[in-house]
Copies of this chain bind each other. A is one copy, B any other.
Amino acid sequence: MTNAYQHLRDTFTRLSRFSHLSAITGWDMQTQMPAGGSQARAEALAELSVLMHQTLTAPQIADWIEQAKSEDLTPEQQANLAEIARRYQQAVILPEKFVSAKSLAGMQCEHAWRTQRPNNDWDGFVKNFAPVVELSREEAQIRAEKTNVSRYDALLDLYEPGMTSARLDTIFADVKSWLPDLLKNIVEKQKTESTLTAQGPFAIDKQRALGIEIMQVLGFDFNHGRLDVSAHPFCGGVPEDVRITTRYTEDDFLSALLGIVHETGHARYEQNLPKQWAGQPIGEARSTAIHESQSLFFEMQLARSEPFLEFLRPYVQKAFGDQSAFEQGNFLRMNQRVEAGFIRIDADEVSYPAHVILRYEIERALIEGEIEVRHIPELWNEKMHSYLGLNTQGNFRDGCMQDIHWTDGAFGYFPTYTLGAMYAAQLFASAKNALPDLDQHILRGDLSALSGWLRQNIWQHGSRFDTDTLIRNASGETLNPSFFRRHLEQRYLG
């Protein structure tokens, strides 16, 4: 007799195989597909997504979950069952018609946004965006009722299970209390330094070769992954075959290179997830914030550190020839430049949290019904002024219309960027404590001990533990934003 747990396990193995097809054809769409293939691809992926939703919410799943609870399971199987139940609940709670209505509204809004943003067309954008907000509020309401949390918390839980806005409020209030001053002090300090920028052109094939060289240093497994080009860099594919992307421009190599390092952080997490649980929810990455913590661990904590930049310098000189900008002090300053700007994705790690907190405050009020879409531009301007000293009045393009995330209703996602940065700082501090010679290793480009620490403390656990437990086991305490503050102070004012 097959027991109920085995039925669930087989169902999720099947789902993971469908996810595999979705991930690879999704990657192909971003990196290989000619434009004329998009309609047929969208239809094929939508069909697959309906199939996956039906498979996940099939009538017998609820019964199996109930039965499995009284079966004799190992602790790992129990953890897996809990993750299975969580996913089932999240999926079954929304009527299928609602899911497709929201997906359609999101696609329409995103599609129109691609031309409305460059045209600074806020009024046009609102027409498509308002229905997305309405549907997201409705979704939040349905989810909130079932789980007895606030509406925004119900959405937040989709990206960061266990996180609440009450906790975020405390964390972000702390950041807001010191970040504006810190930023001002850093900018003042950097004004006294003269920093040369690197002079291109930097040939794309050399950038690519350097990127691959550094990926190898960072431990990316090319037997289970690739590097390609896409308009918007991402880490996709499956743990057995991780597909990362970057984009190159000839006048700047650092943006593509650090982007590659960032995606390599995501990739190493994926490539080192527990093989024995492959295909099961417990074998997947813990959460969006933990995933981001791995990419920022590599990009911000490791690659922009003084020892790594010193290790990197000769590679850059070899690839592009020597120039003054690549001299020791200048190369460091060039990679640690801080400047308040309008655009989140171009922001340095010091001003980045301001972008995130601003969005968090606005999207939360929006979902809770405290404000309406029409209030966004004014709030955006006020907060940009207060956090970064910038004026966005009338500048929707570089203001509240700059991000893709809201267009398809991914409310609750933005906070994970800064949570990820904080987890990264906390984990790096912990690794540094555990590995006394870490700076020396990094200076030599030997990351084996650091990888070992991440594998031991994060990667191998998949979703075996909740986020708080995972972080406490790794660092001795749950999320503590003071590590992040200390990291910024030491790096930029130390």
Contact = CB atoms under 8 A, between A and B. Distances in A.
A41 B14 CA distance: 13
Given A14-B47, A28-B28, A47-B14, A224 B21 contact: no
A166 interface: no
Contacts of A239: 40
Interface in A32-84: 32-37, 39-41, 43-44, 47-48, 51
A17 interface: yes
Contacts of A28: 24, 28
Contact of A44 (B21, B40, B51): B21
Given A24-B28, A39-B240, A240-B40, A17 B224 contact: no
Contacts of A34: 222-226, 241
B36 A48 contact: no
Given A32-B226, A241-B33, A40 B20 contact: yes
Nearest to A28: B24
Q: How large is the interface on A (under 10, 10 to 19, 20 to 34, 35 or more residues)?
A: 20 to 34
A279 to B, nearest CB: 9
A17 B22 CA distance: 12
A25 interface: yes
A238 interface: yes
Determine which residue in A33, A222, A278 has the highest number of CB atoms from chain B within 10 A of its CB, and name it.
Answer: A33
A18 interface: yes
A17 B48 contact: yes
A221 interface: yes
Interface string A209-227: 0000000000001111110
Interface string A1-32: 00000000000001001101100110010001
B17 A44 contact: yes
B37 A241 contact: yes
Contacts of A41: 20, 24, 240-241
Copy number in the complex reads 2
**A interface secondary structure, majority:** helix
Nearest to A238: B40
A20 B44 contact: yes
A473 to B, nearest CB: 29
Contacts of A238: 37, 40
Nearest to A228: B32
Contacts of A43: 17, 20
Contact of A36 (B18, B25, B40, B241): B241
Contacts of A278: 40
B21 A48 contact: yes
Contact of A17 (B14, B20, B47, B240): B47
A406 to B, nearest CB: 29
Contacts of A21: 21, 25, 44, 48
Contacts of A35: 223
Nearest to A22: B21
A36 B240 contact: yes
A257 B437 CA distance: 56
Contacts of A48: 17-18, 21
A224 B37 contact: yes
A440 to B, nearest CB: 32
Nearest to A39: B240
Interface in A269-316: 278
Nearest to A25: B24
A20 to B, nearest CB: 4
Given A24-B28, A40-B241, A18 B47 contact: yes
Interface of A: 14, 17-18, 20-21, 24-25, 28, 32-37, 39-41, 43-44, 47-48, 51, 221-226, 238-241, 278
20 contacts: A17-B47, A17-B48, A18-B48, A20-B25, A20-B41, A20-B44, A21-B21, A21-B44, A21-B48, A24-B28, A24-B41, A32-B32, A32-B226, A34-B223, A34-B224, A36-B240, A39-B240, A40-B238, A40-B240, A40-B241
Top 9 A-B residue pairs of the complex, sorted by shortest distance between their CB atoms: A37-B241, A36-B223, A40-B240, A20-B44, A36-B224, A17-B47, A17-B44, A21-B21, A24-B25
Given A20-B40, A21-B25, A21-B44, 9 more contacts: A17-B43, A17-B44, A18-B44, A21-B48, A28-B28, A34-B224, A37-B241, A39-B240, A40-B241
